[in-house]
Structure formats: C-alpha cells, structure tokens
C-alpha cells in the first residue's frame, strides 16, 4: 500500500520531468533541488550517503527516521531521477578494519 501511495504522491515530480518522453514513462526525473525538496516535504527524507559512478553520475541515498528510503541518480548534464524507493530502511554500523602489509 505504501508503494502505491508513494507513487501517487510522487506525481508532482513527474510534472517537472527533465528526461525524454520515452524515459519519462519509466522513471521520475526533475531538477535535483525540486526532487530533494519534494522528498523532504512528503517523506521527511534527507541525504545520508553520496557517491560518484564511473559514468560521472552522482548517486545519493536518502532516508527518513520512519524507515522510508529513496535512491537518486543525478546525471552529469543535471537531470536527477528516482531509481528506487522503499521502506523499512535499517542503518548498519560500519565495521572498519585496515590492514597493512606489515599486518599480513
């Protein structure tokens, strides 16, 4: 049920589509600022992680305290698209271990 509701509420983003009509039918895209504002307003989601893909795209993960999440991709030319959404996000404590040649 949440997924259907989420898609219905994402409709305002669809109005601001920046992608071609063929792509727009499959993916919701818009300016990064408008997408972030919409997700913050509707789902109280904020960025928690960001990375750079090999093609120059910026990948961002947004989450909320209620467990909703969204994966965004911003292409080098500026269009931001929703690539995935869901619920029940659970952060995992990252265990960092560094080894050196001396430790081996």
**Based on the number of CB atoms within 10 Å of its own CB, is 63 exposed (0-12), middle (13-18) or buried (19 or more)?**
buried
Residue at 95 is within a domain? no
Residue at 21 is within a domain? yes
Residue at 6 is within a domain? yes
Q: Into how many domains does the chain fold?
A: 1
Q: Which domain holds residue 52?
A: 2-84
Instruction: Give the global pTM.
Output: 0.67
Query: Which stretch of DSSP H or E encloses residue 9?
Result: helix 2-9
For residue range 24-81, list pLDDT tens digits in order.
Answer: 445 689 999 999 999 999 999 999 999 999 999 999 999 999 999 999 999 999 999 9
Residue at 92 is within a domain? no
* Higher per-residue pLDDT: 98 or 30: 30
């Amino acid at each position: 049920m949440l997924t259907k509701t989420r898609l219905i509420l994402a409709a305002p983003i669809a109005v601001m589509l920046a992608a071609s009509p063929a792509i727009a039918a499959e993916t919701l895209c818009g300016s990064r600022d408008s997408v972030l504002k919409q997700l913050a307003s509707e789902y109280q989601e904020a960025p928690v992680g960001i990375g750079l893909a090999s093609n120059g795209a910026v990948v961002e993960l947004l989450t909320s305290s209620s467990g909703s999440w969204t994966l965004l991709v911003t292409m080098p030319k500026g269009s931001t698209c929703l690539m995935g959404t869901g619920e029940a996000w659970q952060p995992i404590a990252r265990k960092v271990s560094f080894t050196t040649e001396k430790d081996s």
